[in-house]
Amino acid sequence: MAKLKKKKDKLYGPVSVLAILICIVSIMSFLFSILGIESYKTVIANNTMETTLITVKNIISFDGIKFLIGESVTKFSLFKPLVLIIIALLGISICEKSGLLSDIFSPFKRVKLNIVVFITLLVGIISTIIGDYSYIFLIPLVGVAYKYLGKNPVLGILIVFLGITIGYGTGVIFNYNDYLMGILTEKAATVDIDKNYAYSLFSNIYIMIFSTIVLSFIGTFVVDKFLVNKLPKKYSYEEEELISSPKAKKTSLLIGLFLIILFIYMILPAKMFGAGILLDSSASRYMEKLLGENSPFGSGLVIIITLIFIACGFIYGKLSGNMKNSHQFSLGLSKNFENLGFMFVLMFFISELSAIIEWTNLGTVIASKLLESMGTLQYSGVPLIITLFVVVIIMSVLLPFTIDKWNLAHPVIVPLFMRSNITPNMTQFIFKVADGVGKACSPVFIYYIITLAFLEKYRISEKNQVSIFGTLKLLMPVILIMGFSMLLLIILWYVMGLPIGIGTYSTL
């Protein structure tokens, strides 16, 4: 019996599951290619709608094998989330090793768990303003925070993952993805239906703010009901002898505040000395100047935040006496990497799986098929909203990233909803909410895999095995209830005809 259990644990470990998923995707690409399953993708070019044929490429072929062998190392070395998480951990590590994080969070050990859960969800949702960087910094940081709060870091990591992922669809304010989606939304609306339509970043601000509040309260209730009791509430760890220094904390936080103000000054569009040096001067719109591909601030945000963390940690360590020399400082930069070797293994396998899905076009073909079906629908209103919600969630299984899906969906969905009297702004919001729910359910979502690595880091005992589908099963009641609550909110907002933003409504 013990032998069978051992085999089962090995079979359903994260690496085994990722290897099985690679095999399944490969076999699907073979079958789709042999059967000639294809789809048409609608694109907007030269201000007109055009369709292009998409076919599935077989990874079990000479070209596929060449790709797998020739590009595996390259794909892994260029895997952006891996690089970002390594950089982010440097700053968080030095703050933990210096004793700064312990000094900040330990005084709040007596705060009730439901309050901590609420704050974690709210911070997760608000943090989506910095895009995917919210995962990179908050997942490891919340783990450390919960440890010093005397709570289970596994619980904190799961909560912040849900807050960021499902909250990505709402967000208390717009982010760069909203800007990019808005450009596409405007193209789709003007090319086919309304030549005068113009997208505004504030067009969904009312429903976004309200959704953030609702999602935080509902999430807190659901987490307490379905998640808290399934995990150990407390977490014990071997405490280091760290000196607590109010003077060091005050000084380091003031240094951090000064650096934040300095970097804010560097992104101001004003014509003052040094102002705007981190902006892309070649761009026309401020959001693109700030967060575009060629923006020093947008591409270097992870470095900026890490430098602030390192400066604060170094100052605290020096003034408190917790770090007496450069050798201790150097070792402190690796503190949070402890027990994280598993993450690099998982990142290799998820990078290969993502590369195969992208190369084969499998996710794109399936998503385009679903969108083709939506384009033929004859109903409107609430049934159409529900259909889009479900379709986007299904699309997210193989295409978890927002912009990838919206690139496929916007030429079909925006005109379809406008013909059904639903505004492009509302359509984009519905899509984003469903996208957040779908990403939370996707086993191939890169930041879900990173989350699993940190769960393994803080795993309490051998009984609490971390697995891909086991963790999804644990989270699913919370995801479904939060997702259903957001769908209900959207439907009620639509039926009541409330304004969704400044000068915009859900209907035309």
pLDDT band at 174 (very low <50, low <70, confident <90, very high): confident
Is the pLDDT reported for residue 10 higher than 70? no
Tell me the mean pLDDT in the region 299-328.
Answer: 93
Rg, Å, the chain Cα set = 24
Question: Domain-by-domain residue ranges, the chain?
Answer: 2-78+111-242+322-505
In angstroms, the CA 390 to CA 274 distance is 48
Please tell me what DSSP assigns to residue 445: -
| Mean predicted lDDT score pLDDT of the chain | 90
Is the pLDDT reported for residue 209 higher than 70? yes
Predicted pLDDT of residue 462? 59
Please tell me what DSSP assigns to residue 321: T
Is the pLDDT reported for residue 7 higher than 90? no
Predicted pLDDT of residue 461? 64
Please tell me what DSSP assigns to residue 337: G
Which residue has tokens 């079909």? 412
Tell me the mean pLDDT in the region 233-259.
Answer: 88
Phi and psi at 77, nearest 5°, equal -70, -25
Tell me the mean pLDDT in the region 407-428.
Answer: 94
Tell me the mean pLDDT in the region 432-455.
Answer: 95
Kindly write down the DSSP assignment for every residue of 35-88, as one continuous string. Answer: HT-EEEEEEEETTEEEEEEEEPPPSSSHHHHHHHHHHHHHHHHT-HHHHHHHHH
Query: What is the three-state SS of 170-234?
Result: CCCCCCHHHHHHHHHHHHHHHHHCCCCCCCCCCCCHHHHHHHHHHHHHHHHHHHHHHCHHHCCCC
Confirm if 181 and 135 have CB atoms less than 8 A apart: no
Predicted pLDDT of residue 312? 96
What pTM does this model have? 0.93
Predicted pLDDT of residue 6? 47
In angstroms, the CA 233 to CA 21 distance is 33
Is the pLDDT reported for residue 119 higher than 80? yes
Tell me the mean pLDDT in the region 386-398.
Answer: 94
In angstroms, the CA 275 to CA 384 distance is 47
pLDDT band at 47 (very low <50, low <70, confident <90, very high): confident
Q: Are strands 48-55 and 499-501 parallel, antiparallel or unpaired?
A: unpaired
Tell me the mean pLDDT in the region 93-97.
Answer: 93
Query: What percent of the chain shows pLDDT beyond 70?
Result: 97
Predicted pLDDT of residue 447? 95
Query: What is the three-state SS of 453-493?
Result: HHHHHCCCCCCCCCCHHHHHHHHHHHHHHHHHHHHHHHHHH
Give per-residue pLDDT as tens, 452-489: 999 999 887 656 678 999 999 999 999 999 999 999 99
Instruction: Give how far Cα 105 sits from Cα of 31, 161, 246, 323, 347, Å.
Output: 54, 20, 13, 19, 30
Predicted pLDDT of residue 463? 64
Residue length of the chain: 508
Instruction: Give how far Cα 504 sits from Cα of 202, 223, 275, 490, 497, Å.
Output: 9, 33, 34, 15, 10
- Residue among 456, 432, 227 at smallest CA distance from 341: 456
Predicted pLDDT of residue 120? 97
Tell me the mean pLDDT in the region 254-272.
Answer: 92
Please tell me what DSSP assigns to residue 257: H
What's the one-letter identity of residue 221?
F
The contacts of residue 225 (CB under 8 Å, 6+ apart) are none
Confirm if 139 and 445 have CB atoms less than 8 A apart: no
Is the pLDDT reported for residue 207 higher than 60? yes
Give per-residue pLDDT as tens, 323-381: 988 888 888 888 888 888 899 999 999 999 999 999 999 999 999 999 989 888 888 89
